[in-house]
Amino acid sequence: MKRIAFAAVFAASLLTSLPVLAHTPPPSVAGTPVPSLAPIIKRVSPAIVNVSTRGHVQVQQQNPFMNDPFFQQFFGGRGGAGGPVERKFQSLGSGVIVDAEKGYVLTNNHVIENADKITVTLVDNRSFDAKVVGKDPDTDVALLEILKKPSDLTAITLGDSDKLQVGDFVVAIGNPFGLNHTVTAGIVSALGRDGVEDSKFQSFIQTDASINPGNSGGALIDLNGDLVGINTAILSRTGGNIGIGFAIPVNMAHNVMDQLIKYGKVQRGVLGITIQNMTPEIAQGLGMGQATGVVVTQVQPGSEAEKAGIKAGDVITTLNGMPVTSNSGLTSTLGVMRVGSEVSIGIVRGGKPMTVKATIGKPTEGESDESDDELMHGLAVSNLDKTSPLYGQVQGVVITGVADDSDAADAGLREGDVIVAVNRQQVKTVEEFRKAAAAAKDGSLFLTVRRGEQMFYVSLGG
């Protein structure tokens, strides 16, 4: 009661002593007029759209009795999942027009995932059908094209997310809870955040601009009205905003978009290195004055990194002139570079800075997520590496692609599921997965799959 009473008295005193601040913004700060965001919002709002989807998704039936430990022990852990059931769904999200002439709209992959029909609604309430140009689940980026597009579309200007600093003012625009063109403002709370959601490559912008369900795919803009991020996730125990939201940096989204336009997908390459975050202890051991950059702990023989002269113990400090501050930041930047791209890498070796040139190489066997094996039944899989949020929590191979009209799609499998066993044989790598699949006598696969915290079984082929 004392705290409440003191707070009430203090608040009343503050409102009495500062009547202007309590009701209206000050006319100026340090002699500079306080600006309004209204002109910026008016200019960029036509480029922000509502994205609504309809589709079908297959989910596994769960037997509620199998939540009882007695039944789990009696059945030996079997029978917890029933067959797949198809359900209809509708969802709402946001998007940003990035090319008015071609009708291109950037959004999140999870906004349009499993969609059979996509509708884009403009700020003036005109609606148009749209199709998917390409999508990249690893970055949660998708590119749409408005069909039968009008001639008066407005595109947003793409900014430079590499120039953002913590404390910069930003504005989020989207459609939270179906409330079209809601505008919220805040600051950049942090940069390079990772471990936020299931996407593989993460280096998020964190902001306290209010972001809620439905904002996904919407715009995060700076005070010039330039797009600096695509709003994608929130951290919340209630499902609503608590002041911690995340956006994909526009530079990453732009890189992905370019590849989706040119090639229909993102072809990722590798350098062939294993890296570790720098710590003060490691910096001291390496004779560095401050703990900046990331440490190379291993270089694969014959890799592009080895050809470039990179060695274990090197500290990578820059990539194409931009500072490298974390594993996730370097991995995310490299993860959207196409095979054959040339990069300039700043390293420190023995306390001496130097620069090397390297070429992004093709993934080796086990790193690639490409597979045309008929036994895969429309699945593309890859190893769980250190960039995955599931790394160290589960052993298996992660599904990175599910072909339309395939056995895998019919069974309800989806990207992000982890296959932990094939025909009751545990698999930890893509190579083990392929060997187990090839050993199937009749070509049928009985998969043990983990999705989130749930385990279930799927039978393919046969």
Catalytic residue among 136, 138, 140, 208: 140
Per the annotation, the verdict on 442 as an active-site residue is no
Residue 359's DSSP bridge partners are 342
For residue 337, the SS3 value is coil
How far, CA to CA in Å, does 155 sit from each of 48, 219, 293?
9, 12, 37
CB 246 within 8 A of CB 204: yes
Alpha-carbon span 232 to 240, nearest angstrom: 14
CB 244 within 8 A of CB 189: yes
Catalytic residue among 216, 328, 371, 388: 216
Cβ atoms within 10 Å of 88's Cβ, excluding its own: 9
Q: Which residue has the tokens 């799959």?
A: 449
CB 434 within 8 A of CB 373: yes
Per the annotation, the verdict on 140 as an active-site residue is yes
Residue 119's DSSP bridge partners are 52, 129
Q: With CA atoms as reference, report the closest residue to 170 among 185, 158, 160.
A: 185
Q: What are the backbone angles phi and psi of residue 5, rounded to the nearest 5°?
A: -65, -45
Alpha-carbon span 171 to 456, nearest angstrom: 42
Q: Which helix (H) or strand (E) holds 19?
A: helix 19-23
Alpha-carbon span 408 to 461, nearest angstrom: 9
Catalytic residue among 110, 136, 138, 303: 110
Cα atoms in the Cβ-side hemisphere of radius 13 Å centred on 340: 2
Alpha-carbon span 112 to 108, nearest angstrom: 7
Q: What are the backbone angles phi and psi of residue 292, rounded to the nearest 5°?
A: -120, 150
User: Known catalytic residues?
Assistant: 110, 140, 216
